[in-house]
């Protein structure tokens, strides 16, 4: 009989699921999600507050997560999304190395608060005004996805986009620019829609999974 898998080498995980990417430039594509536990960023409108206490969630063995990602790949997932909680609050090198066995691109959803680690094919940075992101994430991210609750968030979004460009070598394209209205607030939706209509560098990101009622 083989020994029970060790959890000592795995991260604390809230949930894993196979759905469609609901947000950002890859919205609408089949994706396997790994939601890591732990976040101390404290966004008042966070839709995942149950993920905040890391110790409330079980450690999952790396081999089990890699096997789940491989099964999702066989079932049609086009990429793996590591989200949370705040994924940068756990070390990601070993997790990314283990997930390579599934052969899927790895995407990261992060606020940029924490210690950058791991190797990713796509980085979504959703910076928060009260906890500015690490400069290396801003310099490397593929998309900038700013949650909009008030007009000040639009100024913050422009400042983050300008900084992301400033931190890159000359003539390097900046990240894709997305505004995501905070969920279920019509005034925030109107603000984001009006801004994108007048600013062609920006595009709207809706949390389409919530509109669809899927995970």
Ligand X SMILES: Nc1nc2[nH]cc(C(=O)O)c2c(=O)[nH]1
For residue 17 the two structure tokens come to 């699921």
In whole angstroms, what is the distance from residue 18 CA to residue 92 CA?
20
The pairing of beta strand 106-110 with beta strand 122-125? parallel
Please say which residue, 16 or 19, places its beta carbon nearer to ligand X.
19
Residues 82-141 that bind ligand SF4 (CB under 6 A): 84-86, 111, 128
Q: Are 92 and 38 in contact (CB under 8 A)?
A: no
Q: Which of 31, 34, 69, 147 binds ligand SAM (CB under 6 A)?
A: 147
Q: Does 90 bind ligand SAM (CB under 6 A)?
A: no
Q: Which is nearer to ligand SF4, 48 or 70 (CB)?
A: 48
Give the one residue of 126, 157, 175, 192 binding ligand SAM; rule: CB under 6 A: 126
Annotation marks residue 47 as catalytic: yes
178 interacts with ligand SF4 by CB under 6 A: no
Residue bearing tokens 């507050």: 49
**What are the DSSP E strand ranges found in the chain?**
13-20, 30-36, 79-83, 106-110, 122-125, 143-148, 176-181, 202-204
CB of 116 to ligand SAM, least distance (A): 13
Residues 33-72 that bind ligand SF4 (CB under 6 A): 39, 41-43, 46, 48
Locate 206 and state its tokens: 């809706």
- Binding-site positions: 20-22, 35, 39, 43, 45-48, 83, 85, 126-128
- Strands (DSSP E) contained in 44-181 are 79-83, 106-110, 122-125, 143-148, 176-181
Q: Which does 110 bind (CB under 5 to 8 A by kind): ligand SF4, ligand SAM, ligand X, none?
A: ligand SAM
Residue 43 known to be catalytic: yes
Using rule CB under 6 A, residue 164 touches ligand SAM: no
Other beta carbons within 10 angstroms of residue 162's beta carbon come to 11
Q: Are 60 and 37 in contact (CB under 8 A)?
A: no
Region 182-201 residues binding ligand SAM, contact defined as CB under 6 A: 182-183
Please give the structure tokens belonging to residue 208. 């389409």
Of 110, 114, 118, 195, which one interacts with ligand SAM (CB under 6 A)?
A: 110
Contacts of 153 (CB under 8 A, 6+ apart): 129, 146, 147
CB of 86 to ligand SAM, least distance (A): 4
- Concerning whether 209 is annotated as a catalytic residue, the answer is yes
* Nearest to ligand X of 71, 162 (CB atom): 71
* Residue ranges binding ligand SF4 (CB under 6 A): 39, 41-43, 46, 48, 84-86, 111, 128
């Amino acid at each position: 009989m083989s020994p029970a898998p060790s959890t000592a080498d795995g991260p604390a995980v809230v949930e894993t699921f196979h759905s469609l990417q609901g947000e950002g430039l890859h919205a609408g594509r089949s994706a396997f999600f790994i939601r890591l536990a732990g976040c101390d960023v404290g966004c008042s409108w966070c839709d995942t507050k149950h993920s905040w206490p890391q110790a409330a969630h079980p450690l999952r063995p790396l081999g089990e997560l890699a096997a789940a990602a491989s099964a999702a790949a066989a079932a049609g997932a086009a990429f793996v999304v590591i989200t949370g909680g705040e994924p940068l609050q756990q070390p990601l090198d070993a997790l990314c190395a283990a997930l390579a066995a599934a052969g899927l691109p790895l995407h990261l959803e992060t606020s940029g608060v924490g210690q950058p680690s791991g190797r990713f094919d796509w980085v979504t940075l959703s910076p928060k005004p009260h906890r500015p992101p690490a400069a290396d994430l801003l310099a490397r991210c593929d998309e900038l996805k700013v949650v909009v609750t008030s007009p000040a968030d639009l100024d913050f979004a422009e400042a983050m986009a300008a900084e992301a460009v400033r931190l890159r070598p000359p003539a390097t394209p900046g990240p894709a620019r997305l505004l995501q209205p905070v969920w279920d607030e019509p005034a925030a939706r109107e603000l984001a829609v009006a801004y994108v209509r007048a600013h062609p560098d920006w595009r709207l990101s809706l949390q389409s999974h919530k509109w669809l009622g899927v995970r």
